[in-house]
Amino acid sequence: MSVTIKTPDEIEKMRVAGRLASEVLEMIGPHVVPGISTLELDQICHDYIVNEQQAIPAPLNYRGFPKSICTSVNHQVCHGIPGDRILKNGDIVNIDITIIKDDFHGDTSKMFILGKPPVLAQRLVDLTYEALKIGIQEVKPGAKLGDIGHKIQNFAEKNRCTIVREYCGHGIGSMFHEDPQVLHYGKPNTGIELEAGMTFTIEPMINAGKRNVRLLPDGWTVVTKDHSLSAQWEHT
Residue 217: burial class (beta carbons within 10 Å; 0-12, 13-18, 19+): exposed
Q: What pLDDT does 1 receive?
A: 75
Cα–Cα distance measured from residue 147 to residue 29, given in angstroms and rounded to the nearest whole number = 33
Q: 180 preceded by cis ω (within 30°)?
A: yes
Which long-range contacts (C-beta less than 8 Å, at least 24 apart) are formed by 86-89? Answer: 86/35, 86/36, 86/37, 87/32, 87/33, 87/34, 87/35, 87/36, 87/37, 87/38, 87/114, 88/34, 88/35, 88/114, 89/34, 89/114, 89/115, 89/116
Q: Residue 76 burial by CB count (10 A; 0-12/13-18/19+): exposed, middle or buried? A: buried
Residue of 97, 36, 108 whose CA lies nearest to 71? 97
Contact (Cβ atoms closer than 8 angstroms) between residue 5 and residue 198:
yes
In tens digits, the chain (236 residues) has pLDDT values of: 789 999 999 999 999 999 999 999 999 999 999 999 999 999 999 999 999 999 999 999 999 999 999 999 999 999 999 999 999 999 999 999 999 999 999 999 999 999 999 999 999 999 999 999 999 999 999 999 999 999 999 999 999 999 999 999 999 999 999 999 999 999 999 999 999 999 999 999 999 999 999 999 999 999 999 999 999 999 99
- Measured between alpha carbons, how far is 236 from 234 in angstroms, rounded to an integer? 7
The Cβ of residue 201 has, within 10 Å, a number of other Cβ atoms equal to 20
Residues 6+ apart with CB under 8 A from 221: 72, 76, 79, 80, 81, 215
Distance in angstroms (rounded) separating the CA atoms of residues 161 and 124? 8
Buried b (16+ CB within 10 A) or exposed e, 94-130: bbbbbbbbeebbbbbbbbbbbeebeeebebbbebbbb
Q: Torsions phi, psi of 189, nearest 5?
A: 60, 35
Determine the pLDDT at residue 44.
99
Of 91, 92, 72, which Cα lies nearest the Cα of 82?
Answer: 72
pLDDT value at residue 102:
98
